[in-house]
Structure 1
Amino acid sequence: MDIVPMKIVSNSKYYPFFKDCIGAIDGTHVAARLANDSCILLECIKNPENKFSMPKRDQYYLVNLGYSNMPGLLAPFRGQRYHLRDFRERGHRPRGREEVFNYRHSSLRNVIECCFGILKARFPILKQMPPYPIKT
């Protein structure tokens, strides 16, 4: 897995800042590839039987504040505005490098969430995935 989405490559707002991003993890659980909890994600990463697809070196998944920064995972800066509505409600543009990063990170995650919304509308089973037992 090493293809950077065209949405990033073709938009100067995102590229080259997220040139090594190959996906996002936000808590939506689809087919056991995404975890909604950092402990579950760490278990998926540590256990080779799970066959979790970790990014190649210098690539990463975008993750939300529920996850920690680590090789292969890129979270937003804590203590800075993050959600797009925070910028819209106050009418302020992002200030400083960390807020600009968080604004763009949030913008990309919104694109991913919209894609999941479209998939869930097309395939209703994704809204209520049947339970899948995982040994822990």
Structure 2
Amino acid sequence: MFLTICGHNEVQRNVGLRFGRTQETVKRNFFEVLRATEFLACDYIKTPTTQELRRVPERLLMDERYWPYFSGFVGAMDGVHVCVKVKPEVQGMYWNRHNITSFNIMAICDLNMLFTYVWNGAPGSCHDTSVLTMAQDNDSSFPLPPVDKYYLVDSGYPNKQGFLAPYRSSLNGVVRYHMSQFESGPPPRNKQELFNRYHASLRSVIERTFGVWKKKWRILCEFPRYDIHVQKRV
């Protein structure tokens, strides 16, 4: 019942009819399983230790496109918006650039498309950089990479120690970054675009992970049926 609700964003009444249970039973079971999954999250989303961050991922080592050029890679980081239902008086805080109310969730994943860190609950109006600052300032367990390591991030984040962003366009000219720009246009025109192409390709693991995540759990991308506190737990 829990999987049906989360996977299809189904209402409890319809789930009760499908499984031959009362709506009260469906509601009770939903929250029981939700509580259990919160404990399971601690087992599946494991913050890497400093020793683990120093270890070179085998998949990176074996890929000539990225090795040794991204030898300091330890993960990809990005933000994703998840729909949330809020009260009218706080709607402005959660209103994002896509014209919906949402959480801006920041996550880090490895090359196996496994989450290694998640910061949940930032209002949708927050910029990605602000969410990163929240996580670093308020979570002592934030996995900051060792000096010679880094997370790949997009241009929404600062290019600083531990975080490697792509080259940006400037007054001197446009520097392409997104894979779609290379697929529909000419090959990289200079060393900056060549770097950006492989940066985007390697960093896309976090975008693919988000895509699979939302494809499997429609409760995360459709109109939410639960209030903000429950949606945050989900």
TM-score by length of 1: 0.79
How many Å separate the matches in 2 of 1:125 and 1:8?
A: 33
Instruction: Select the residue among 192, 195, 207 that pairs with 1:98.
Output: 192
Measured against aligned partners, the alpha-carbon deviations of 1:27-60 in whole angstroms (never above 9, x if no partner) come to: 1325427x8610121232234x442111111100
2-side partners of 1:85 and 1:39: how far apart?
27
Q: Partner of 2:162 in structure 1?
A: 72
For 2:131 and 2:210, locate their aligned partners in 1 and report how far apart those are by CA, in whole Å. Answer: 21
Q: CA 1:4/1:123 → structure 2, altered by over 3 Å: closer, same or farther?
A: farther
Q: Is 1:12 matched with 2:53?
A: no
Tell me, in whole angstroms, the C-alpha distance in 1 between the residues paired with 2:156 and 2:147. 22
Alignment correspondent of 1:88:
183
Q: Within 1, Cα distance between the matches of 2:198 and 2:204?
A: 10
Provide closer, same or farther for how the CA distance between residues 122 and 78 of structure 1 changes in structure 2, counting only shifts above 3 A: same
Counterpart-to-counterpart distance in 1, 2:78 and 2:182: 20
> What is the RMSD computed on CA atoms of the aligned residues?
2.6
Q: Which amino acid aligns with 2:211?
A: G
Match of 1:59 in 2: 149
Greater relative CO (CA pairs within 8 A, separation 6+): 2
More helix by proportion, 1 or 2?
Answer: 2
Equivalenced residues, count = 130
Which residue type is aligned with residue 187 of structure 2?
Answer: R
- Tell me whether 1:111 sits opposite 2:198 in the alignment: no
- Describe the shift of the 1:119–1:107 C-alpha distance in structure 2 as closer, same or farther (beyond 3 A): same
Partner of 2:83: none
In the aligned structure 1, how far is the partner of 2:221 from the partner of 2:128? 18
Helix, strand or coil at the partner of 1:110 = helix
The equivalent of 1:131 in structure 2 is: 232
5+ residue gaps, structure 1, are none
Letter of the structure 1 residue corresponding to residue 212 of structure 2 = I
Distance change (3 Å), C-alpha of 1:75 and 1:93: same
Higher strand share: 2
Q: Which residue of 1 aligns with 2:215?
A: 121
Q: 1:53 to 1:122 in 2, by over 3 A?
A: same
